[in-house]
Amino acid sequence: MIRIFVVLTLLAFSASSYAGDIAAGKAKAAICMACHGAAGISPNDLWPNLAGQKEGYLLKQIKAFRDGDRIDAMMAPMVKPLTDADVENLAAYFSSLK
């Protein structure tokens, strides 16, 4: 019984939950669509698809571009004005697409 409790507790704490708003992310995603496609599927092999990416991955990457931890001359000006809430919303939106 204790073993089951420990396993369930570990699973509960290991699962990340994000608070992004999909609708707000969709509204904010217009600037992303020029390169990453209207449905998050890039029309060009040079830019990655955003649709269906894991939310945590998108959060990490967008924040890295925004904060200068990951350098890209094209991405920096696009993400620099984003707030943490904007990033969470965009990540929620694109991860919800399939």
Please report the pLDDT score of residue 7 as a whole number.
Answer: 47
**Domain hosting residue 75, numbered range:** 20-96
List, for residues 25-42, the tens digit of each pLDDT value.
Answer: 999 999 999 999 999 999
Q: Is residue 8 part of a domain?
A: no
Q: Is residue 10 part of a domain?
A: no
Q: Is residue 86 part of a domain?
A: yes
List, for residues 41-97, the tens digit of each pLDDT value.
Answer: 999 999 999 999 999 999 999 999 999 999 999 999 999 999 999 999 999 999 999
Tell me the C-alpha distance between 57 and 78, whole Å: 18
pLDDT > 50? residue 11: no
Query: Residue 33 phi/psi, 5° resolution?
Result: -70, -25
Tell me the C-alpha distance between 16 and 3, whole Å: 22
Tally the domains of the chain: 1
Tell me the C-alpha distance between 28 and 56, whole Å: 18
- CATH code of the domain in which 28 resides: 1.10.760.10
Q: Is residue 24 part of a domain?
A: yes
The alpha carbon of 43 is separated from its chain's Cα centroid by a whole number of angstroms, namely 19
Q: Is residue 15 part of a domain?
A: no
Nearest to 58 by CA among 31, 30, 86, 37: 86
Contacts (Cβ under 8 Å, ≥6 apart) of 80: 66
